[in-house]
Amino acid sequence: MRRIGTRGASIPAFTLRSAARSAVSGARHVSGGASHLGRDAVVGAVQAIEEIGGEAGSMVRDTMIGVIEGANQVVAITAPAISDMVAGAIHSSTSGISDTAEVGREAIEGAIVGAVAVGMESHCAAASAVSGAVEAMTEAGTETADAVRATLSGVVSGVAATDGAVSAAAEAATYAMIAHGADEGTDPEDIASKAEHAVDAALAEVAENPAVDMELVAATATGAVAAAYELGQSHGDHVRRSVLLRLSASAGHAVPELAHQTAHLGERLAQELPRGRAAWRGRAVYRAARVLVHDGGIDMAASLAYFTVMSFFPMMALVAMAVAFFADPEVVGAGFSALIVQYFPASADLLREAIQRLFQGTLAMGLVALAATLIGANGLFVAVDRAVNRLFGVEHKGFLSTTLSEAAIATSVIILFTLSMMITALFQVGLGFQPELTERLGPAAAYLLWPMGVISALIPAVITGLLFTAVYHYVPSVPVHWRDASYGGLVAMTLFEIGKHLFFWLSTIATQRSVIYGPVAAFVVLLMWCFLAGLIFLYGAALTRAAGELRPDRQLSA
């Protein structure tokens, strides 16, 4: 149990938190909203701590958490409220009894933990807390180096305590720290100095904290440079040069292991750091590819391919039997075969034969297919959940801890995919009656068949994009903005469609000339396509993460 010492007393941390929560939640008449309520509560708590002889720096963290949790029961907590609470805690500790920088660090950590507990995203909470801390510590006359170090340390410890993405939060926090109070007229040297202090603080954190690595430094540098470019091209260029020079100088006097890592990071950032305001999407594309390779994307794509093949044929059996219930099995089977080739090119012969057999299935086969689908789909979902969370830098929660909402999402995805295939299959059946329609309707048939053909071609692509977007938004164990998930889903869908047609052409040549795999060449080609599709899907997940980390206005989104 964490205990906080005072003069002649020892107060458990949970007691401070509970007392603060109860005191604030007891308020029923609130004027001024969450900002006034939370700030007044924090100010009163810090002043009371110092009056009884306690060190506010060691107690404000838990007080801050309790105040936020209590205030949230009365009024919704907003980003400005978090900023005001942190500023209030620091302003209240300027009597000289407590170290202002230490109070700032603890206030930021507590603000992040409390804000995440009431539903705010960690990077948004970090940016908001930093804005309040920078303003308050500047007014208190805290040295810039001390203020920056305390700020970054509070962000790292606070986000780590919530199992959030530390690098993303550090980047958002640094962006807020550089941008706060600055404009086009601000001296570039002042901004560069603050950015250099931020890089130094990140390097010191890496040297002292084994839980973080050089990605923290990269994120800090990226946030500083991106914020500088928002002020102007000349500001950004100046800060970019200063950050790279700082990394080069730091590599020269660091311990051997860190020196090598710092030098390597400097070379990498020379290519990755922003060069202007509009460069973040291009950097996201590059960063996503690097994350995919670094985090084992190839191995994870192979795992997805295995479970996809395992669950594919049983699921097709269920879909086939459901569609055949409403139409002639032979006609539906032909249309269904044409549809499947849209998703799995170059395995047409293998799939057509299998599908024709499925349409001749019995009830017993349907029950077996249902059981096999559930087993395969469960394995596929667990593999997807593990892979996506790994790419987002968070741990997979495991099957037993998977929430009911996630299970519902997985089921909805499967149902949506199945329904999309059924709808497209029905359009394909309609196109199968083209000769009869042409004979009966004459030239007017073209006005009916052309839209049906376009819709039949577009539905697979649209459904693929929607499924990718839904998975990127809901599956990660960290909050993901819809705009980032949509960006990743759109790019992944585009790559999927391009890859599908390119792979169709290449694999057709390969299967015609295969002398290695012989009669199983079609199945091998199917497995290869599933692997490529899995790789594209995982790249979209990595791109979603990169977009969330690099999007310039990310810290303003709640």
The DSSP-derived string for 301-344 is HHHHHHHHHHHHHHHHHHHHHHHHTTS-HHHHHHHHHHHHHHHS
Rounded Cα gap, residues 13 and 54, in angstroms: 13
| CA distance to 35, 41, 73, 323, 427, per residue, from 86 (Å) | 10, 11, 19, 60, 59
Higher pLDDT, 558 or 173: 173
In a domain? residue 244: no
User: Rounded mean pLDDT of 316-331?
Assistant: 60
Q: 3: pLDDT confidence band, cut at 50, 70 and 90?
A: very low
Strand partners, 6: 9
Q: 282: pLDDT confidence band, cut at 50, 70 and 90?
A: confident
In a domain? residue 281: no
Out of 183-197, 362-376, 493-507, which region has the weakest mean confidence (pLDDT)? 362-376
In a domain? residue 480: yes
Cα angle at 346 between 343 and 350, to 5 degrees? Answer: 90
In a domain? residue 241: no
In a domain? residue 258: no
- 514 Cβ contact partners less than 8 Å away, ≥ 6 residues apart: 521
Token readout for 249 is 């100088």
CA 495 to chain centroid: 20
pLDDT in tens, 449-464: 556 656 666 777 788 8
CA 196 to chain centroid: 28
Instruction: Look at the block and give the residue holding tokens 């083209």.
Output: 434
Rounded Cα gap, residues 512 and 407, in angstroms: 42
pLDDT in tens, 83-99: 888 888 888 765 554 57
In a domain? residue 288: no
At 108 the pLDDT is 93
Q: 378: pLDDT confidence band, cut at 50, 70 and 90?
A: low
Domain boundary among 78, 110, 143: 143
* Whole-number average pLDDT of the chain: 74
In a domain? residue 476: yes
In a domain? residue 468: yes
Question: Does the pLDDT of residue 54 top 70, yes or no?
Answer: no
Indicate the Cα dihedral angle 181, 186, 187, 191, nearest 10°.
40
pLDDT in tens, 483-527: 899 999 999 999 988 887 777 666 666 555 555 666 666 677 778
The 10 Å CB-count burial string (b at 16+, else e) for 295-318 is bebeebbebbbbbbbbbbbbbbbb
What pTM did the predictor assign? 0.61
Give the domain extent around 59.
Answer: 1-143
Strand partners, 11: 4
Domain boundary among 143, 165, 189: 143
- Our count of domains for the chain comes to 2
Domain boundary among 120, 143, 166: 143
Rounded Cα gap, residues 291 and 286, in angstroms: 9
Question: Does the pLDDT of residue 439 top 60, yes or no?
Answer: no
Token readout for 494 is 């585009």
